[in-house]
Structure formats: structure tokens, C-alpha cells
């Protein structure tokens, strides 16, 4: 019996399950790439125990719907979040934006992103990458410019995503501007960002 199956066996034998045990089991299924079981357990939690979820429970459920992916289920969880008053937490907003983006509803993802009061660099980078992955490079570059104006420092993942977009568009001029910014703020020469620079310049024909 695997560890996850053993955990589920112990979970099933519990006479009473608190929110922590439900959340641990749901997130365990998500981490082991079994999103459908995670969603079924989330439904069971609401149906049987009528437990009030916390931000970690619903974030795990949203991650499961994103992994399926299923926009309908994600919207159902969004509705549940609104009804239970969990819509004031930034962790939940971030998970909502991620779910909508991965389920192909980029407009909803951006709407949630714009409503977030406290956006960290991970949230910014994820939204920028969604635009690039959807082929909407102008909106991705515009949001990257908004990030620079916000005063939040991009990380290596941000730089890499933007540079790859420059390479795909063979936009050396914009790539050079990103390179200049990286030089000014500093970046780890042993990270993958320099590799993205090499790729951008070579794709643009500047050997």
C-alpha cells in the first residue's frame, strides 16, 4: 500500500474529521497528481461534514480544478468561496487567478489579478506568462512594463519569460532593454536568466 493510500485508509477510519485532516488529504491528492480524487473529497467534505473550509482547503481545490482542467468546477468553487466569505484572502485570489488562467479563461484571470490588493512577484510573473503562452505578447509586455513601474523587482523566472517572448518575436530592441534593466538591478549569472539572454540574441541573429 502506498503512502497516499495508507493516509486515505487512516482518514476513512477517523470517527471525526476536522478541517485540518480534510485539507491535508485534499492537498495530498493534488500533490500526487490525482486532482479528480481531490475534487471528489472536497465535494464529500461539503456534503457530509458541512465543514467550513479555510483558505488552504479552497486553494487546494482550485489547484485540482486547474490540473484537470475544468472551468465549470473552478467556477463552482469560486461561487462557494464567495458564499463562505473566503474572498478576502490574497492566497485565495492568487489561486483563483491561477485556476482561471490554466483553464483557458485569461480574461477572468486578469480580472482577479486586477482586484488583488497585494500582488507579489510570483503573481505578476504568472499573469505575464499567461499572456505570452496565449500568444498575446503585447499585453504580456505591457504588463511587464506595469510591473517595472510598480517598484517590485522581477525575478529570474520573470526575466526568462520575457526574454523568451522577445526571442519568439525576434524583438532584439526590446530584448536589449530587458538586458539593460537586468544589468542595472543585478541578476544571478549562474541562474537560467543568462541562458535566456543567449537564446534571445541568437534567435534575433546577433551572434
pLDDT at res. 131: 96
Q: Residue range 41-68: average pLDDT?
A: 88
- All three cell numbers of 8, joined, read 486515505
- DSSP of 32-81, one letter per residue? TT-HHHHHHHHHHIIIII-PPP-HHHHHHHHHHHHHTT-HHHHHHHHHHH
Model confidence band, residue 113 (pLDDT cutoffs 50, 70, 90): very high
Q: What is the pTM of this model?
A: 0.85
Q: Helix, strand or coil for residue 186?
A: coil
Model confidence band, residue 150 (pLDDT cutoffs 50, 70, 90): very high
pLDDT at res. 112: 95
Length of the chain: 207
- Quick: pLDDT tens for 180-194: 998 888 888 778 888
Q: What angle do CA 72, 92, 114 make, to 5 degrees?
A: 85
pLDDT at res. 69: 94
The 10 Å Cβ neighbour count of residue 13 is 7
- C-alpha span between 48 and 169 (Å, rounded): 52
Amino acid at each position: 500500500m502506498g503512502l497516499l493510500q495508507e493516509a486515505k485508509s487512516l482518514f476513512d477510519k477517523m470517527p471525526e474529521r476536522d478541517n485540518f485532516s480534510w485539507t491535508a488529504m485534499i492537498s495530498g491528492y493534488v500533490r500526487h497528481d490525482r486532482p479528480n480524487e481531490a475534487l471528489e473529497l472536497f465535494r464529500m467534505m461539503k456534503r457530509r461534514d458541512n465543514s467550513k473550509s479555510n483558505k488552504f482547503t479552497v486553494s487546494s481545490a482550485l489547484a485540482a480544478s486547474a490540473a484537470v482542467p475544468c472551468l465549470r468546477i473552478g467556477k463552482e468553487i469560486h461561487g462557494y468561496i464567495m458564499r463562505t466569505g473566503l474572498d478576502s484572502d490574497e492566497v485565495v485570489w492568487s489561486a483563483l487567478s491561477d485556476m482561471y488562467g490554466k483553464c483557458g479563461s485569461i480574461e477572468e484571470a486578469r480580472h482577479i489579478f486586477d482586484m488583488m490588493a497585494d500582488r507579489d512577484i510570483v503573481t505578476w510573473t504568472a499573469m505575464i506568462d499567461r499572456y505570452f503562452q496565449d500568444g498575446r505578447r503585447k499585453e504580456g509586455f505591457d504588463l511587464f512594463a506595469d510591473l517595472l513601474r510598480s517598484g517590485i523587482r522581477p525575478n529570474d523566472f520573470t526575466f526568462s519569460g520575457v526574454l523568451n517572448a522577445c526571442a519568439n518575436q525576434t524583438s532584439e530592441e526590446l530584448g536589449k532593454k530587458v538586458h539593460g534593466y537586468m544589468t542595472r538591478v543585478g541578476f544571478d549569472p549562474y541562474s537560467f536568466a543568462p541562458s535566456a539572454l543567449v537564446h534571445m540574441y541568437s534567435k534575433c541573429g546577433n551572434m
